[in-house]
Amino acid sequence: MTNLQSPISNLQSPETQSLWTALQDVTDPEFPLSVVDMGLIYGLQREGETVCVQLTFTAMGCPCMHFIVDDIRARLLQEPGVANVQMEIVWDPPWTKNRLTAKGRERLQRLGMVV
């Protein structure tokens, strides 16, 4: 995968829509938000039984990287017809709070965070 797609355009793709919905079940271990609403998912593609995920982390020293990767893989493998999950870690463009979805931003604000 070389071409990054925004979550919004991917959400409109019928073949990946269920995958984006599935990833709403995967929460960031440090915030009460899904990895989608945190803006960690940079791209999602499905090719037959294989799902390719491009994701980033808020920090390179994020201690939760392995948890997040494992949780994403486990959840996607529960989807019908998915047998393989390939992960690609993307660092550019770097994550900023601008990656939060409107829902994610609203929720963090309700919790008193300045975003």
* Strand, coil or helix: 99: helix
Number of neighbouring beta carbons within 10 Å of residue 91:
9
Closest distance between other proteins and the C-beta of residue 24, in Å? 25
User: Taking CB under 8 A as the rule, does residue 61 contact other proteins?
Assistant: yes
Judged by CB under 8 A, the chain residues 8 through 47 that form the site for other proteins are none
Question: Among residues 34 and 58, whose Cβ is nearest to other proteins?
Answer: 58
- Considering only 91, 98, 110, 112, the residue that binds other proteins (CB under 8 A) is 91
Q: Which stretch binds other proteins (CB under 8 A): 19-27, 28-36, 61-69, 104-112?
A: 61-69
Closest distance between other proteins and the C-beta of residue 102, in Å? 23
Mark residues 93-112: x for contact with other proteins by CB under 8 A, - for none: xx-x----------------
Q: Are 13 and 22 in contact (CB under 8 A)?
A: no
Q: At 41, phi and psi to the nearest 5?
A: -90, 115
Which residue type, as a one-letter code, is found at position 9? S
Distances (CA, A) of 62 to 69, 83, 105, 106, 112: 12, 28, 20, 23, 22
User: Which positions touch other proteins (CB under 8 A)?
Assistant: 59-63, 90-94, 96
